[in-house]
Amino acid sequence: MDLKVDETALLHSLRQRDELAFTQLVEQYHASLVRLARLFVHEETVAEELSQETWIAVLHGLDGFEGRSSLKTWIFTILTNKAKTRSLRENRSLVFSDFEDDHFDSPTVAPQRFKDASAGASANHWAVEPASWAGIPEEIILSGETLHLIRQTIAGLPEQQRAVITLRDIEEFSAQEICNILGISETNQRVLLHRARARVREALEDYLQAEH
Amino acid sequence: MDHVITCKELVELVTDYLEGTLSGETRAQMERHVAGCDGCTKYLEQMRRTIQLTGNVREEDLSAAQREDLLRLFRDWKKG
């Protein structure tokens, strides 16, 4: 509720050509726009350019914006459309409907972690349980190295997974908003998110085990 | 007769669980399993922590050059 009210006020100020309102908006979203653009295009400078073009489109579209989506979703959708067009031109298409390169049925946790059929009733239960991270000092868990590892792991994910985990867990869009932005179904969104999160968890598990 | 979820099945349901998209019945089965399973309790904890830590990756600060560029865009637009 509060968010909606804030957004209405912000929109009003923007339409009044209020520079402070614009500054607030770019402080909030510009870095995220560049990060999202980087999912579609290789070069940082192109990502920056696309984000700037997005702001120009936002400013020119303000008076016609009807508020059917949130301001945030509207802005990010403009960016996504521009980035998709650009990546097609660059011949580097991120095709969200094509899942061929991904093994959607393969397990996200190594099968060796579970007991096999010879274990009888306890087959498919943990053979090697995950460790608790509760005893690991916060300064290790929250360290720059841990963040770096997460960034690196996400950077190494297949593109669709990278897009979804970035939007969901870093930018904190709702699942529905992500489907709108990327043009994918809710089921695909969730499967991609599941696989991406599992990979990050696995990387953290390896790293924290070694550190501990 | 309730299907008993194995740990191997449970780990593949975790995202649906955390995103709140499981059916009531599956959700209840899963919660029963987790309540009696140390390994899955820890797995779920690790996954929650993973999501939380991923959220920390967000960097916000704009460079002076970026801010300047954007304000120039704004002023050009304002001039019409």
pLDDT (0 to 100) of residue A2: 45
Residue B74 lies in a domain: no
Question: Does the beta carbon of A119 lie under 8 angstroms from any beta carbon of chain B?
Answer: no
Question: Does the beta carbon of A107 lie under 8 angstroms from any beta carbon of chain B?
Answer: yes
CB of B8 closer than 8 Å to CB of A114: yes
Residue B76 lies in a domain: no
Higher-scoring residue by pLDDT: B7, A99: B7
Please answer yes or no on whether A171 and B58 come within 8 Å at the CB atom: yes
Predicted model pTM: 0.84
Q: What is the ipTM of this complex?
A: 0.87
**C-alpha distance from B16 to closest chain A C-alpha (Å):** 7
Q: Is B70 left (phi over 0), alpha (psi -120 to 50) or beta?
A: alpha
**Host domain of residue B1:** 1-58
Cα A160 to Cα A29, A95, A164, B42, distances in angstroms: 21, 8, 6, 28
Please state the rounded mean pLDDT for residues B14-37.
96
Residue B69 lies in a domain: no
Tokens coding A196 = 């991406």
Has residue B45 got a pLDDT over 60?
yes
User: Do the two domains A2-89 and A111-211 of this chain adopt the same fold?
Assistant: no
Please answer yes or no on whether B15 and A170 come within 8 Å at the CB atom: no
List the domain boundaries for chain A.
Answer: 2-89, 111-211
pLDDT (0 to 100) of residue A106: 85
Task: Tell me the backbone φ, ψ of residue A102, rounded to 5 degrees.
Answer: -115, 140
Count of domains observed in chain B: 1
Bridge-partner residues for A114, per DSSP?
Answer: A126
Please answer yes or no on whether A190 and B66 come within 8 Å at the CB atom: no
Please answer yes or no on whether B15 and A154 come within 8 Å at the CB atom: no
**C-alpha distance from A77 to closest chain B C-alpha (Å):** 19
pLDDT (0 to 100) of residue B61: 73
Question: Does the beta carbon of A150 lie under 8 angstroms from any beta carbon of chain B?
Answer: yes
Beta-strand runs (E) in chain A: none
> A2-89 — its CATH code?
1.10.1740.10
Residue B80 lies in a domain: no
Has residue B37 got a pLDDT over 70?
yes
pLDDT (0 to 100) of residue A126: 97
> A111-211 — its CATH code?
1.10.10.10
Please answer yes or no on whether A154 and B56 come within 8 Å at the CB atom: no
**C-alpha distance from B35 to closest chain A C-alpha (Å):** 14
pLDDT (0 to 100) of residue A92: 58
Low-confidence ranges of chain A (pLDDT < 50): 1-2, 97-101
